[in-house]
Amino acid sequence: PFSPSDEEMCFPKKRANSSPFPPPSSGPSTEPPPMTRSTIIKCEKPASRVLKWDEKMVEAFASFAIRFFVIASHADVNFICSPFSVALSLAVLHEGAEGSTKKELARVLGDGLASTDILNFYAHLVEMTSRTGLEIANGAFIDKKFEVRTEFLETVQSTFNAMPHTIDFRDGPAAAKLVNQFVCECTKGKIGEIMQSGSFETADLIMINAIHFKGFWSCPFKRSMTQEGLFRGVHGDRTVKFMNDTRVVEYSLSKELVVVQLGYRMKNRVRR
């Protein structure tokens, strides 16, 4: 991560007009998209030491995220999802599972890595994201007819910062009210209803994960530099306002797009 002392993040010695939104091409191309309004300079930084299990878990999570997005998305429909939320819920289930179920979850989450590696990886992510303005509503709601092992409850609370709740699934309206209240509080009122009374009729366990994010840029964009530009969407083109700035950024380039990395502010450093 960048530290606040990295002045080149806000005041680069070599400046370039760096809009993160290059105009998209009209069709498939074998060449990178034209950068008519922007030139992005790569900022080389020494990589921090990464544990071997962490490297493999990052690869496994990236693979899961891509596969999940492909399955969940639909053509010609605006779509946003959080693979991290889904994976975190599956990680909680993994800790409470046994036998073939645990093996299958381990294969999906960690591609065959040890259970301790999976646990440590997601515990680390939960701890890191808590300092970026990301609020995670991670809850396990269990029908009161089941007795839950103490060690599972302790792991869920201490590692995943999740709150296990034992409620009466037979009382659908009351159960839905409790779950919705939990999510509403964790998302600052942005999500008021996520469950309905009929959701509990055939369930024994319900995993809830909702996220609320309000972060601040490490180098804020100036409102005075906002520029209008053409946004080319699936349903046609329209003029919108784009953030605009000049800075050095890290980026990744493919044949069809350019992805830039912008930092968010943390307590004493920048989070990417």
Q: What is the pLDDT of residues 231-272, one digit of tens each?
A: 988 778 999 999 999 888 899 998 888 899 988 886 555 454
What does the pLDDT look like over 117-141, one tens digit per residue? Answer: 888 888 888 877 777 677 777 888 9
Q: Consecutive 10-residue runs of the chain (272 residues): their mean pLDDT? A: 34 36 42 36 39 75 90 78 88 89 90 84 80 77 88 84 85 93 86 88 87 84 94 88 91 89 70 50
Q: Label residues 169-198 b or e (16+ Cβ within 10 Å = b).
A: beebeebbebbbebbbebbeeeeeebbeee
Q: What is the pLDDT of residue 147?
A: 85
Q: Own/partner pairs for 71-74, CB < 8 Å, 24+ apart?
A: none
Extents of the domains making up the chain: 1-43+215-272, 52-166+208-213
Q: What is the CATH number of domain 52-166+208-213?
A: 3.30.497.10
Spatial neighbors of 40 by CB under 8 A, at least 6 apart, are 16, 18, 249, 251, 258, 260
pTM of the model: 0.66
